[in-house]
Amino acid sequence: MKEKKYINWRSFTSLYIAISFVIMVITGIILFLAPPGRIAHWSYWSILGLTKTEWQNIHIIFTFLFIIAGSFHIYYNWKPLIHYLQNKKQNTSRIKRELILALFSSILIFILTLTNIPPLGTIIDFGEYLTESWENKNNTPPIPHAERLTLAEFSETVNISFNRINKKLTDANIVFSDDLTLEQIAEKNNTTPNSIYSIINAIDSSKIPMMRTGSGYGRKTIEEICSDLNINVQEGLLKLEKKNIYADRTARLKDLANEYNMLPIDIYNFITSK
């Protein structure tokens, strides 16, 4: 008589947790190295055939299921866990030392992460450096999430006549309508929003405003921002003072924003205001 085959759910759970962990590590590394969303969506960035959004979805789902599988793992191994803890009662001092060390380490990591203190702060800064290294004038959208705007909305936002855009896209044999987003137009024409914008941008680049919202300026100092914008740094500091924001020229926008409970773009807009 053949032995009946069955699934050992305890083994399945353990193996699934191990596989999920590997996938979470891989997706986490890819997302750590990936460009910011505004660039990834604008240029349809992908790696191994998957876009950033798809990698994010995989990471989120496997993390969620990892938590569920972990709960089942505890359930299936509840008795061995209780037995282990009961045996450890004979050496409670050791458990206390290990528990205190684990708690202390966790609290220390938590504080170092929030305060951006090395070496954990260095990892965060390196991640931001990698993110910003993707940016250049050829792949950065003129405004955040420009691909989500309809052609009519985009025309109004960048202050270019829709008739002129219409003619340029028609000459380039692009299939479009004013109620479609740049992303939808790109999909219909088997290209990217960035490519559609390149055609539009060729109309008159001087008429497209330099809107640098969300372009990685948080890491720059006030002095660097003013230099980029050809603004006198003292003038920039005075504009901030008028908004009751006090800083020196070496302050980074993201640090200043955290101090005053704002976003880096808010600080940037104050400096560029007239």
Residue 218 has pLDDT above 80, yes or no: no
- Model pLDDT, residue 136: 67
Residue 211 has pLDDT above 50, yes or no: no
Mark out the alpha helices in the chain (DSSP H runs): 9-33, 37-43, 52-76, 78-88, 92-115, 120-133, 151-157, 162-171, 182-188, 193-201, 222-228, 233-242, 253-259, 264-272
13-49 pLDDT per residue, tens = 999 999 999 999 999 999 998 888 878 888 888 899 8
DSSP 229: T
- Model pLDDT, residue 159: 76
75-130 pLDDT per residue, tens = 888 887 777 767 766 666 566 777 788 889 999 988 888 888 888 878 888 877 77
DSSP 96: H
> How much is the mean pLDDT over the chain?
81
171-193 pLDDT per residue, tens = 888 888 888 888 899 888 888 88
Residue ranges covered by each domain of the chain: 1-76, 146-207, 217-272
pLDDT above 90: percentage of residues in the chain: 15
Beta strands in the chain (DSSP E): 46-47, 50-51
